[in-house]
């Protein structure tokens, strides 16, 4: 009898171990905090003053998440990812009305056919172009973003109600596509989104291209679809400048169209890159204007030692068709140095200077580095940050 019990127990342990080996759930996260100095920010009275502040996510947004997979056999897996961004200064979620505000999806993954997922997800500009720009990497991040993060390379917003496909690797090529439903009866195109992307890697060469379009009927119907594809966006800073309201650009215009491409080339311990993006905004809400923003970025990374990484970028941005007939343009210079204690923990120092030239009638005459609390009272702004980052 005892032998039967021992044998049965051993069989149960074996089966349990086999079942456990076929599925996994991983807790992961990143905490990034730093002290930031800004030479000029507008305060409540409208005057400009320098500012010292503790910032959450100066380089990468602080977040935690759960990801998992279950082996279904034949190279097919069920997968999921739930990811939440938070403010390390006060412990609050970065979005007040959702727990998993960064990503929340479930899907199927196949070695042979690729990955199909459903839920709140990143678009293809983030997946294919952002890694070639310093703002989309750990070597630059939030403050390195192009003005207003107008092209979303800093992943300032995600797409709700999204069906997304990513292909497997075909001799260095990868393809992607996403569609975000409006979820509105009688308003199929009111706040919907779709994007496409591709990448190619060959030895030291890495190329990527992407396209994203957001549609809204708000400009003509006067009502926002708050359950649609885009409900929180960067560009809310630009919205504040143009309309005195922090509302999504996807809702501000009848169409927001962004496309871009980039290339990185590695040689020895260095990686050099070029990125171009353009965002077209059609029929801006409350202004009736249509405009476009073009970003030209050159960047360089250099591994001075295995523990010390240096990076720098220059971005030139120009816009057209805005109020006052002016064509504002921005120059931005960014630099960062990081030291890694381990693969999970590092310290860094970074700085950004931004200058803007605009006509006297333009509402975009004030500099505003991405991620700072407020714009400058003048046409230039400087920030410097010393920070600590830990991954788990």
74-96 residue pLDDT tens: 999 999 999 999 999 999 988 77
Tell me which residue of 71, 10, 61, 67 sits closest to 31, measured CA to CA: 61
- The token duo for 330 is 């921005």
Residue 19 has pLDDT above 50, yes or no: no
Distance CA 61, CA 136 (A): 11
Q: What is the model's pLDDT at position 356?
A: 95
Average of per-residue pLDDT across 289-297: 90
Write the burial class of residue 7 (CB in 10 Å: 0-12 exposed, 13-18 middle, 19+ buried). Answer: exposed
Categorize the per-residue pLDDT at 29 as very low, low, confident or very high, splitting at 50, 70 and 90.
Answer: very high
Map residue 20 onto helix, strand or coil: helix
216-257 residue pLDDT tens: 865 444 567 888 998 875 444 454 445 444 444 445 678 889
105-141 residue pLDDT tens: 999 999 999 999 999 999 999 999 999 999 999 999 9
Distance CA 148, CA 239 (A): 9
Q: What is the model's pLDDT at position 325?
A: 52
**Between residues 321 and 238, the one the model is more confident about:** 321
Q: Write the DSSP symbol of residue 152.
A: -
Residue 337 has pLDDT above 80, yes or no: yes
Q: What is the model's pLDDT at position 18?
A: 46
Question: 194-209: string of b/e by CB count within 10 Å (b at 16+)?
Answer: bbbbbbeeeeeebbbb
364-384 residue pLDDT tens: 889 999 999 999 999 999 999
Categorize the per-residue pLDDT at 282 as very low, low, confident or very high, splitting at 50, 70 and 90.
Answer: confident
Residue 384 CA neighbour count, 13 Å, CB half = 3
- The token duo for 383 is 């920030």
Average pLDDT, the chain: 87
Residue 6 has pLDDT above 50, yes or no: no
Give CA separation, 372 vs 74, 148, 212, in Å. 49, 11, 26
- The token duo for 34 is 């730093």
Distance CA 202, CA 212 (A): 25
Task: Report the DSSP pairing between strands 76-85 and 103-110.
Answer: antiparallel
Categorize the per-residue pLDDT at 287 as very low, low, confident or very high, splitting at 50, 70 and 90.
Answer: low
- The token duo for 326 is 């002016």
- The token duo for 331 is 């120059």
Q: What is the model's pLDDT at position 17?
A: 47
133-187 residue pLDDT tens: 999 999 999 999 999 999 999 999 999 999 999 999 999 999 999 999 999 998 8
- The token duo for 179 is 């569609």
Q: What is the model's pLDDT at position 308?
A: 98
186 Cβ contact partners less than 8 Å away, ≥ 6 residues apart: none
Is the distance from CB of 293 to CB of 237 less than 8 angstroms? no
Q: Which domains does the chain have, with CATH numbers?
A: 23-391 (2.40.160.10)
């Amino acid at each position: 009898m005892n032998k039967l019990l021992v044998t049965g127990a051993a069989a149960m342990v074996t089966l349990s171990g086999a079942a456990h080996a076929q599925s996994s759930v991983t807790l992961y996260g990143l905490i990034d905090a730093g002290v930031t100095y800004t030479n000029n920010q507008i305060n409540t009275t409208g005057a400009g003053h320098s500012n010292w502040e503790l910032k959450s996510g100066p380089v990468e947004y602080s977040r935690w998440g759960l990801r998992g997979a279950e082996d279904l056999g034949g190279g097919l897996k069920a997968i999921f990812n739930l990811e939440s961004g938070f403010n390390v200064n006060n412990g609050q979620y970065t979005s007040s009305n959702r727990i998993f505000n960064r990503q929340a999806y479930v899907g199927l993954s196949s070695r042979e056919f690729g990955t199909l997922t459903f839920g709140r997800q990143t678009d293809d500009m983030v997946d294919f172009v952002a890694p070639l720009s310093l703002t989309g990497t750990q070597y630059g991040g939030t403050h390195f973003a192009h003005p207003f993060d107008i092209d979303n390379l800093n992943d300032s917003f995600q797409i709700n109600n999204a069906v997304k496909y990513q292909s497997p690797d075909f001799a260095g090529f990868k393809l992607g596509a996403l569609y975000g439903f409006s979820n509105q009866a009688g308003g199929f195109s009111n706040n919907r989104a779709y994007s496409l992307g591709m990448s190619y890697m060959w030895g030291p060469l890495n190329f990527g291209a992407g396209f994203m379009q957001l549609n809204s009927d708000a400009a003509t119907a006067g009502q926002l679809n708050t359950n649609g594809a885009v409900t929180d966006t960067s560009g809310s800073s630009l919205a504040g400048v143009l309309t005195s309201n922090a509302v999504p650009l996807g809702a501000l215009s009848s169409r927001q169209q962004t496309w871009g491409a980039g290339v990185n080339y590695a040689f020895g311990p260095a990686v050099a890159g070029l990125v171009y993006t353009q965002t077209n905004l059609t029929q801006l809400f409350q202004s009736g204007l249509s405009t476009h923003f073009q970003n030209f970025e050159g960047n360089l990374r250099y591994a001075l030692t295995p523990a010390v990484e240096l990076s720098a970028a220059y971005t030139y941005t120009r816009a057209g068709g805005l109020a006052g007939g002016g064509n504002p343009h921005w120059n931005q210079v960014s630099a960062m140095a990081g030291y890694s204690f381990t693969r999970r923990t590092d310290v860094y120092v970074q700085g950004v200077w931004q200058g803007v030239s605009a006509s006297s009638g333009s509402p975009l005459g004030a500099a505003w580095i991405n991620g700072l609390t407020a714009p400058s009272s003048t046409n230039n702004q400087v920030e410097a940050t010393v920070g600590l980052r830990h991954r788990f």
